[in-house]
Chains A and B, each alone.
Chain A
Amino acid sequence: MTEYIIRRLLQSSLVLVAMSVLVFAGVYAIGNPIELLVNPMADDAERARVIANLGLDKPLWEQYLTFFKGALTGDLGKSFVFNVPAVGLILQKLPATIELALCAMVIAILFGIPLGLWAGLKPDSIAGKTIMAGSILGFSLPTFWVGLLLIMLFSVQLGWLPSNGRGDTVNVLGFEVSFLTADGLSHLFMPALNLALFKLSLIIRLTRAGTREALLQDYVKFARAKGLRASRVVGVHVLKNIMIPIVTVIGLEFGSVIAFAIVTESIFAWPGTGKLLIDSITSLDRPVIVAYLMIIVTLFIVINLVVDILYSVLDPRVRLGQGAGQGAH
């Protein structure tokens, strides 16, 4: 196990390098940030000064080398736009996004699994059918559309919830969190719900499918025949069987929620990294984009590692880091 984790970490550093090269090349392909930074009234001399200042006059490989040297010492560069260290800028915004993502995930899991179980255990009941039909709504409407409808209903029409921002925060272990204040919670509710809808639908459907299958498996039939209580059958046998696909998807979605809460964050003006990322992409602020993606990749790597370890915990038949093909020989 330890060897496996060490090997994964080594691979991960290669992933980080590959990632940074890709982002560098990608942002370079989009265009030169100079047009967006420099005031249009500036003359060519001023433009040349800024280009030289940002190091954009050098060939791409040289720019990358400079970045790489800095990265080895932990310096991922300064934002073109804000002139502050990119990592600092991101870390300032990250707690807000993680909080939002966690809340969305909690909503999705808390409601998704029971509803999915219900629909799976009683597929032909009216409740089961309603749950399934309702879950379609969750992913058929674009996020930005649902977000605005939520704002129009709860903020503009009813006046119950604030339309934007994060509200009062409390410092817990060095992180600013808003879910511990009433004001913060009221700010958190709508964006978290908006972000959760898609995951909620997905989890409902996966749970239902898994449950239906599990009910037909021999060991569940057997457990039922043995006269085990329904709750125990569901709790132990069915849930266990559906956990693997669900853990995979939760792992994937949690990462994507953190990374791409872009639309939700911009509609609700949630001061997180998603909004920072889209602003940085629109202004081609390369150091921030690169640093951001490096952080996100690291996050993904950790999540995936946890998910893979969870596989082996949930199902002893999964052997980590070893192929069946190889095992045969």
Chain B
Amino acid sequence: MTAAVQTPFQRIASDFAASKLALLGFAMLVVVIGIALFAPVVSPQNPYDLTQIDVMDSKLGPGEKSMAGQTYWLGTDDQGRDMLSGIFYGLRISLGVGVLSTILALSLGILFGLTAAWFGGRIDALIMRICDIQLSFPAILIALILLAMLGQGVDKIIIALITVQWAYYARTVRGAALVERGKEYVEAARGLGLSSSRILFRHLLPNVLPPLIVVATVQVAHAIALEATLSFLGLGLPITEPSLGLLISNGFQYLMSGKYWISFYPGLALLLTIVAINLVADQLRDVLNPRLQK
């Protein structure tokens, strides 16, 4: 097969594989996603099933055995939950929450940001003032209001995270789009009589996307960390179904007592996940960016 008949996908794949670091990140990400998807299969224990955990096994160190003879390779937390299983299940929730809320918030942000930049005037003013309000509402207050009105749950946390983040994207998109709007290619497209939506999504969007992808990949990590912070403040997920963030904040108070594993391993898992996401995203951004192609 010659380069001439390469499909776009093949081209992206080969460009991507040019960086060994990115390949490593990709491999890590595959493992992480695999674990998240198949957590119930690969975990020694279902950490969310109350009948399977025993408070008498709590705070065992890595490698210690339970009263029933099961070995806890990464130790147990303060409820007697197997840390390894807890991390696998927690990964599933954290990734889900982080990715889903970022994608949804990003989409909302793009929609409102582009609209504001394109139409300008009253619409721009209205959207931007809503953003002002949204951005000055502290995440913790939004989370508390939603918790009081809707109760606890993964879906509620996702709603809270979207509410907190969309305006952020909207402003960033608007800023980038305002610049692009004045450039020659947009003027040219308009001169050709193309429809607004066509110019917006076919011409403007690809050009404002690169800085946005930077922000978004950082924000997936930020969303996961934000969820952890909300959990730390008691506003996060149900405590019997901990995410990575909740595991970290639960273990936080044991950091000084020498029981490092309760917080350390979930922290490590979170770190690796985010590194993997970013290694892949960094390379993807360079590969996909129409202006960076060699």
Contact = CB atoms under 8 A, between A and B. Distances in A.
Interface string A244-279: 110111001001100110110000000000000110
A90 to B, nearest CB: 14
B179 A139 contact: no
- Which residue among B21, B135, B190, B270 has the maximum number of chain A CB atoms within 10 Å of its CB? B135
Contacts of A244: 175-176, 179
Nearest to A317: B182
Contact of A317 (B129, B144, B183): B183
A141 B232 contact: no
B267 A145 contact: yes
Q: Mostly helix, strand, loop or mixed at chain B's interface? A: helix
User: For chain A, what secondary structure do more than half of its interface residues adopt (helix, strand, loop), or is it mixed?
Assistant: helix
A137 interface: yes
| Centre residue among B21, B218, B222, B252 by max chain A CB count within 10 A | B218
Contacts of A149: 255
Contact of A325 (B140, B196, B210, B292): B196
Interface string B141-153: 1001100110000
B13 interface: no
Interface in B202-235: 210-211, 214-215, 218, 221-222, 225, 228-229, 232-233
B103 interface: no
B282 interface: yes
A26 B133 contact: no
A162 interface: no
Contacts of B221: 136, 139-140
B249 A144 contact: yes
A132 interface: yes
Interface of B: 21, 117-121, 123-125, 128-129, 132-133, 135-141, 144-145, 148-149, 168, 171-172, 175-176, 178-179, 181-183, 186, 190, 196, 210-211, 214-215, 218, 221-222, 225, 228-229, 232-233, 245, 248-249, 252, 255-256, 263, 267, 270-271, 274-275, 278, 282, 285-286, 289, 291-292
11 contacts: A23-B141, A144-B252, A245-B172, A252-B135, A281-B141, A281-B144, A317-B182, A318-B179, A321-B125, A324-B182, A325-B196
